[in-house]
């Protein structure tokens, strides 16, 4: 539920439960006691942290229930008195619980907003918690990097890894491991690793020549092969050279 809608709903609930409790449910002799409980709870909820407030709420519910039980035993409540006591208790704890929800919803609204903003940014930039760039983010960053490279007349390599032809049973796990090692091995301030589709990811190695690319790739496969039984040839791999060193225009050649 959206936060403003939730606040409005909780406020309506808070107001209607309070009115119903005072005028319809509890006996008039209990109104003062109810108001004291209610106000004290609101004050405590305003002061306490969310966790402490919740623990107070639970202690309050249990404590008042036990007090009612002791009263019922010691005063020998008959069935009608028990029903009245139960109804009074339910309405009191319901009011206090709604007050808890309302106060902490307001308190949390700022915190949740900033959390949501951070989450949205994370989702836009990365594939879940993996830190692998999404296709969109990868493409955007690549475009920016290529523009800068063009200006500086540099050379780069884009390597595409595809597992479309691999064994179905291990493909997901293999993809996770290979992309994890790619992030660990390649990604620093310069390189990009992005997920292009379900079984394909790409690495952009910037400002490097073919020898540098081969060294990086061989280091990557050394790490991969320490953990996984796989050869370079087992992965469907394409390497594209991007060369701005010679001509003014972009040169994008698959090698």
Partner 1 sequence: MNLIFITIISVFWLVLLYYSFLTVSGLYYRTRHVEKIPSELTSYPDVDILIPAYNEGKVIGKTLEAVLKLEYPGNIHVYVLNDNSQDDTAEICNAFSKTFKNVHHVNVPPGYPKGKPRVLNYGIDISESEYIAFYDADNQPEPKSLKLLIEEAVANPKAAGAVGYVRTINENKNWLTRMISLEFIVFQLLMQCGRWFIFKTGSLTGTNMVIKRAFINAAGKYDECALAEDAELTIRITRNGWELPIVPDAITWEQEPENLKILIKQRTRWLQGNLYLLEKMLSSWQFFKGKALVHTLQQILVYLVFLVFLLISDFIFISGILGRSNISIQIPALMIWYVSYLIYTVQLFSALTVEKNISPANIFVGFILYFTYAQLFILLFFRSLFHYLRAKRKKAAISWDKTIRF
Alpha carbons 205 and 132: distance in angstroms, whole number: 15
C-alpha 201/C-alpha 133 separation (Å) is 9
Nearer to partner 1, 54 or 199 (CB): 54
Rounded to the nearest angstrom, the gap between the alpha carbon of residue 153 and the centroid of all alpha carbons in its chain is 41
Please give the Cα distance from 132 to 194 (Å, whole number): 5
Residues 6+ apart with CB under 8 A from 91: 17, 20, 21, 25, 26
Contact partners, residue 182, CB within 8 Å, separation at least 6: 161, 193, 201, 203, 220
Count of residues that interact with partner 1, criterion CB under 8 A: 36
Q: Does 47 bind partner 1 (CB under 8 A)?
A: no
Q: Which residue, 7 or 230, has its beta carbon nearer to partner 1?
A: 230
**Residue 230 sits in the site that holds partner 1 (CB under 8 A):** yes
Residues 192-211 that bind partner 1 (CB under 8 A): none
Q: Which of residues 129-148 bind partner 1 (CB under 8 A)?
A: 129
> What are the CA-CA distances from residue 134 to residues 131, 142, 185, 193, 202 (Å)?
9, 12, 18, 9, 11
Distance between CA atoms of residues 19 and 13, nearest Å: 10
Integer Cα distance of 192 and 204 in angstroms: 5
Q: Are the CB atoms for 220 and 231 separated by under 8 Å?
A: no
As a whole number of angstroms, the distance between CA 242 and CA 213 comes to: 12
Paired with 252 in beta bridges are 242
Residue 176 interacts with partner 1 (CB under 8 A): yes or no: yes
For partner 1, what does the binding mask look like between residues 3 and 42, x meaning CB under 8 A?
----------------------------------------
Residue 172 lies near partner 1 (rule: CB under 8 A)? yes
Residue 36 backbone dihedrals phi, psi, to 5 degrees: -65, -45
Considering only 19, 40, 55, 124, the residue that binds partner 1 (CB under 8 A) is 55
Q: State the minimum distance, in angstroms, from the CB of residue 150 to partner 1.
A: 38
CB closer to partner 1, 84 vs 240? 84
- Verify binding: residue 217, partner 1, rule CB under 8 A: no
Q: Name the residue nearer to partner 1 (CB basis): 111 or 215.
A: 111
CB closer to partner 1, 91 vs 155: 91
**Of 68-76, 110-118, 147-155, 236-244: span binding partner 1 (CB under 8 A):** 68-76
For residue 220, what are the contacts with CB-CB under 8 A and spacing of at least 6?
A: 181, 182, 185, 186
229: contact with partner 1 by CB under 8 A: yes
Q: Which of 222, 227, 250, 251 touches partner 1 (CB under 8 A)?
A: 227
Tell me the per-residue interface mask from 69 to 88 with partner 1, x by CB under 8 A, - otherwise: x--xx--xxxx--xx-xx--
Decide if residue 59 touches partner 1 (CB under 8 A): yes
**Contact residues for partner 1, defined by CB under 8 A:** 51, 54-55, 58-59, 61-62, 65-66, 68-69, 72-73, 76-79, 82-83, 85-86, 89, 129, 167, 169-170, 172-174, 176-177, 226-230
């Amino acid at each position: 539920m959206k936060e403003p809608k939730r606040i409005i709903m909780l406020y309506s609930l808070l107001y209607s439960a309070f009115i119903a409790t005072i005028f319809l449910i509890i006996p008039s002799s209990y109104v003062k006691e109810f108001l004291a409980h209610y106000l004290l709870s609101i004050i405590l909820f305003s002061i306490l942290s969310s966790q402490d407030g919740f623990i107070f709420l639970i202690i309050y519910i249990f404590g008042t229930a036990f007090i009612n039980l002791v009263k019922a035993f010691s005063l020998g409540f008959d069935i009608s008195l028990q029903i009245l006591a139960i109804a009074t208790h339910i309405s009191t704890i319901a009011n206090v619980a709604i007050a808890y929800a309302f106060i902490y919803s307001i308190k949390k609204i700022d915190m949740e907003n900033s959390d949501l903003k951070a989450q949205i940014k994370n989702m836009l930039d990365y594939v879940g918690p993996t830190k692998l760039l999404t296709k969109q983010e990868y493409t955007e960053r690549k475009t920016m990097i290529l523009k800068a490279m063009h200006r500086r007349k540099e050379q780069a390599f884009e390597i595409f890894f595809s597992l479309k032809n691999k064994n179905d049973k291990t493909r997901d796990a293999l993809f996770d491991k290979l992309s994890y090692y790619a992030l660990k091995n390649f990604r620093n301030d310069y390189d990009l690793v992005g997920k292009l589709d379900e079984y394909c990811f790409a690495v952009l190695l910037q400002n490097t020549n073919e020898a540098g690319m081969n060294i990086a790739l061989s280091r990557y496969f050394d790490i991969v092969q320490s953990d996984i039984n796989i050869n370079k040839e087992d992965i469907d791999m394409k390497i594209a050279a991007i060369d701005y060193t010679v001509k003014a225009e972009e040169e994008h050649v698959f090698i």
